[in-house]
Amino acid sequence: MEHIITVSNLKKSFKTNQVLKGVNFEIPKGSIFALLGSNGAGKTTCVRILSTLTKADSGSATICGYDVFKQADNVRGCISLTGQYAAVDEALTGRENLHLIGELKRLSDFRKQTDELLAAVNLEDAANKQVSTYSGGMRRRLDIAMSLMGNPQVIFLDEPTTGLDPQNRIALWDMIAKLAENGTTILLTTQYLEEAEYLADHIAILHNGVITAEGTPEELKKMLPIGEISLEFMRSKDAAQAQEFLTGYTFTTGRKIIHVSTDGSAKQLADILNRINEGGIAISRVTQNQPSLEDVFLTLIGEKGGEKHE
């Protein structure tokens, strides 16, 4: 498989704060790669280094076969970056914003590309309106269209749906998916786990300066026990009493609920229910859950809620 981006042992510190402590990953051509992490995990720092905006302290990286540190001009020629906030000129129209980027890139066919991109991001009707009149979702779509001017091979999307309402977020997801279908490689940073699960072919979790886990969404979910049973009780004292009958199981507790990790088998479900029933405790609801990407993420960064018992 051809890797269009390779990152090896990338390190970066700001004074005494070591943000990246040795980051490693590879991204196949034409795929969507999601970099997940909490606020301050170093996602944006990583993107800024790969897009030649910030220098790394050490490590290596290549994009489109070029060394990011030694051949920065070549790298800039095959990438594009969309930051967390739309970088558009509000005094210009949508069309004029695209023309400006085309002229800056010295593209001969930028007027034709402008029409194609406006259609691709559903802004044809608003093309000649000032961007100051655009909604947040329209500005974000225009921002991505500006990033696509010149047909870059790689696009960095740094938390592209921040601040968007659910309708605009889903519309942008569909647009990103179509880019990948057409062969564009996308590195996406996001805090929205459902966004990564919906879009990404491959996900890496950045925590404490390193990649703590990576794989497809399904591969990551398999890192946790394949089953979880939620037992809900009418009273908090019933939930507390029920814990005494769960010896040998790992579980987390809330006020009136217990989440028990299992191997997903009917045998363990029956065993748990029999134990609670023999204790004479009434259960108001039983739910059998599969692990989510959120469960994996919170477990790996050590922030899984509830009090844990083994």
pTM: 0.77
Q: Do residues 263 and 227 touch, judged by C-beta distance below 8 A?
A: yes
The answer to the question of residue 75 being in a domain is yes
294: Cβ contacts below 8 Å, ≥ 6 apart: 193
pLDDT of 185 higher than 70: yes
Residues 212 and 234 in one domain: no
Domain limit, last residue, from 197, 221, 245: 221
Residue 220's identity, in one-letter code, is L
Q: Domain with 239 in it: what CATH number?
A: 3.30.70.100
Q: Domain with 58 in it: what CATH number?
A: 3.40.50.300
pLDDT of 7 higher than 90: yes
The answer to the question of residue 305 being in a domain is no
Residues 162 and 210 in one domain: yes
Residue 93's identity, in one-letter code, is T
Residues 182 and 261 in one domain: no
pLDDT of 310 higher than 50: no
Residues 195 and 282 in one domain: no
Residues 183 and 275 in one domain: no
pLDDT of 73 higher than 90: yes
Residues 109 and 239 in one domain: no
Q: Which of 99-103, 170-174, 283-287 has the lowest mean pLDDT?
A: 170-174
Report the 10 Å Cβ neighbour count for 207. Answer: 18
Q: Do residues 105 and 149 touch, judged by C-beta distance below 8 A?
A: yes
**191-206 mean pLDDT:** 92
The answer to the question of residue 296 being in a domain is no
pLDDT band of 26, cuts 50, 70, 90: very high
pLDDT of 289 higher than 80: no
Domain holding 119, by residue range, is 3-221
The answer to the question of residue 298 being in a domain is no
Residues 213 and 284 in one domain: no
* 256 or 160, greater pLDDT: 256
Residues 257 and 199 in one domain: no
Residues 98 and 145 in one domain: yes
Give the count of domains, the chain. Answer: 2
Consecutive H or E run containing 305? none
The answer to the question of residue 301 being in a domain is no
Domain limit, last residue, from 221, 248, 263: 221
Give the chain's count of helices (H) and strands (E).
11, 15
Q: What percentage of the chain carries pLDDT values higher than 90?
A: 67
Tell me the CB-side half-sphere exposure of residue 51, using CA atoms within 13 A.
23
pLDDT of 141 higher than 50: yes
Residues 211 and 190 in one domain: yes
Residues 195 and 273 in one domain: no
Residues 108 and 135 in one domain: yes
pLDDT (tens digit per residue) in 266-283 = 899 999 999 999 999 999
The answer to the question of residue 15 being in a domain is yes
3-class state of residue 118 by DSSP = helix
pLDDT band of 227, cuts 50, 70, 90: confident
pLDDT (tens digit per residue) in 76-135 = 999 999 887 778 999 999 999 999 999 998 999 899 999 999 998 889 999 999 999 999
pLDDT of 304 higher than 60: no
